């Protein structure tokens, strides 16, 4: 790395993806100007300690490695804005991640994560949160108190409930909760989402366009919108006066028969 530093003393971005690395090159920490480091698709089993010494680092990509845990030193990356740790072997998101106050994007999909920190609201800058395809059984209530959260994907987990506060979070624009087992909680969340004025997309359903009566065709083909998504569609149909046709080809949906305000019965069909 000394030669790299000499040749490009102000190097800001380093891309080492797909090199079968089990460690980073010696002297990486000497590249003090680095803002972006990409180490995706290597054979790293831990987060290289040299990374913690990069005080100006803003983007760190570690997806597709063999990392099992995130050490406490991660909180030293006080300027980090984007962290991608997807496709590793993580079983939890540790509490010390909450010290990353500048973090805007946290992508941790396709791991084996079972739990999240209770005080998620401390990530005050977080805008995008993706923990899809994990083993999470519950979301902390504090998720609904994230002041800047715009996109959350918790699809393909083992969730039984979604905090109602999350559906009422005023900053959220996109939400995906498909492929969970929410049961009766689906109705509560669907009602909250349907009443939300800021959510644009929910489980691939174009909520904002339906609410604004901006569609003449609703195309949900090849999209498994799930129970919650189907309920939201049912709620919003009354606003979609311009809708002329709906494409539901090759997808599994839920037909909803609802009476009064929130009494739902379901029949699963395949079109």
Q: Using H for helix, E for strand and C for coil, what is the string for 182-221?
A: CCCHHHHHHHHHHHCCCCCEECCECHHHHHCCCCCEEECC
Encode pLDDT of 227-267 as tens digits: 889 899 989 988 889 998 887 665 554 443 333 333 333 33
CA distance 15 to 147: 32
Q: Which residue has the tokens 């929130």?
A: 262
Question: pLDDT-derived band of residue 9, with 50, 70 and 90 as boundaries?
Answer: low
Residue 131 is predicted with a pLDDT of: 98
Place of tokens 């918790």: 154
111 pLDDT tier (thresholds 50, 70, 90): very high
Computed over every residue of the chain, the mean pLDDT equals: 87
Model pLDDT for residues 196-228, shown as the tens digit of each residue = 889 999 999 999 999 999 999 998 887 888 888
CA separation for the pair 110, 116 (Å, rounded): 15
Q: Is the pLDDT of residue 269 over 90?
A: no
Contact 102, 124 (CB under 8 A): no
């Amino acid at each position: 790395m000394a030669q790299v530093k000499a040749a490009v003393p102000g190097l800001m971005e380093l891309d080492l993806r797909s090199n079968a690395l089990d460690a980073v090159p010696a002297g990486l920490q000497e590249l003090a100007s680095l803002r972006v480091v990409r180490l995706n698709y290597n054979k790293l089993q831990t987060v290289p300690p040299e990374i913690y010494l990069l005080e100006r680092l803003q983007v760190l990509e570690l997806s597709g490695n063999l990392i099992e845990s995130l050490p406490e030193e991660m909180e030293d990356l006080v300027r980090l804005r984007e962290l991608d740790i997807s496709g590793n072997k993580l079983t939890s998101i540790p509490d010390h991640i909450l010290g990353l106050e500048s973090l805007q994007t946290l992508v941790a999909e396709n791991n084996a994560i079972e739990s999240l920190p209770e005080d998620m609201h401390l990530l005050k800058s977080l805008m995008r949160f993706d923990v899809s395809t994990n083993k999470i059984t519950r979301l902390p209530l504090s998720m609904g108190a994230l002041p800047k959260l715009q996109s959350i994907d918790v699809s393909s987990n083992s969730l039984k409930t979604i905090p109602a506060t999350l559906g009422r979070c005023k900053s959220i624009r996109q939400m995906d909760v498909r492929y969970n087992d929410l049961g009766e909680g689906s109705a509560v969340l669907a009602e909250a989402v349907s009443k939300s004025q800021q959510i644009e997309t929910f489980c691939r359903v174009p909520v904002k366009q339906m609410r604004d009566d901006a569609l003449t065709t609703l195309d949900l083909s090849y999209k498994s919108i799930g129970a919650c998504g189907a309920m939201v569609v049912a709620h919003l149909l009354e606003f979609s006066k311009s809708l002329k046709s709906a494409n539901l080809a090759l997808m599994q949906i839920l037909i909803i028969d609802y009476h009064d305000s929130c009494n739902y019965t379901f029949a699963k069909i395949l079109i």
